Amino acid sequence: MQEQLIINVLGKSSLLTLSDITACISQYKCNILDSRHALFGTDFSLTMIVSGTQNSVTKLELGLSKLCMLDDLLCMMKRTTGHQKHGLEQVINLAFYGADATGLMHEVTHALTTYKVTVSTVRQKTYSQSGQLMLDCEMILMAPESINLASFDEHIKVLLDGLGLHGKVSHNIIKENDEYTKSW
């Protein structure tokens, strides 16, 4: 039976570090199901979910902990089950910008819960423009097949307008049957 493990590693950015982590996963005969890597200044954040036999995942937990300790990396791991699609058939791209204020992201993310929309990716940037703190945000959202896109779009437009933000919404239907199969 396959076990699954969520791994989050934080530390100084280095291609060698990423290579060492993936080599460790391979050494213990585990497979990477999904991963995200981001750079923040001189540091990086790596989040992934891996699978393997119970014995392989246990060995990986020990081996990766040792590797991270030696490389001065912060590593968190948690066993999980059932990494799979959740009947999400719509991808919604939401982008908005405007004057930043405390609570804006809370207001937007709270509104998404009304439609049972899952936030897959967030890219947010704040910057100063003419002495005003500004926000630029892009989100990739996953929505159930049953979502009323016209209602969702209108709700988001009203919300953003009420918060003094500008933005756009676009959506795509997911066509792949296997989320881990891509052609290039």
Question: Is residue 107 within 8 Å of 98, Cβ to Cβ?
Answer: no
DSSP states of 18-70: HHHHHHHHHHTT-EEEEEEEEEETTEEEEEEEEEEEHHHHHHHHHHHHHHHHH
pLDDT of residue 89: 72
pLDDT surpassing 50 at residue 167: yes
Give 32-48 pLDDT, tens digit per residue. Answer: 988 888 888 889 999 99
pLDDT of residue 38: 85
Question: Terminus-to-terminus CA distance in the chain, angstroms?
Answer: 31
Question: Is residue 46 within 8 Å of 37, Cβ to Cβ?
Answer: yes
Give 104-118 pLDDT, tens digit per residue. Answer: 999 999 998 888 888
pLDDT surpassing 50 at residue 126: yes
pLDDT of residue 183: 41
Domains and CATH numbers, the chain: 2-80 (3.30.70.260), 88-173 (3.30.70.260)
In the block, residue with structure tokens 């052609």: 183
Question: Is residue 128 within 8 Å of 134, Cβ to Cβ?
Answer: yes
Segment 120-125 shows an average pLDDT of: 87
- Report residue 72 as tokens: 């001065």
**Tally of residues, the chain:** 184
**Coil, strand or helix: which one is 21?**
helix
pLDDT of residue 114: 87
User: Residue 50's pLDDT band (boundaries 50, 70, 90)?
Assistant: very high
Give 62-73 pLDDT, tens digit per residue. Answer: 999 999 999 899
pTM, two decimals, is 0.65
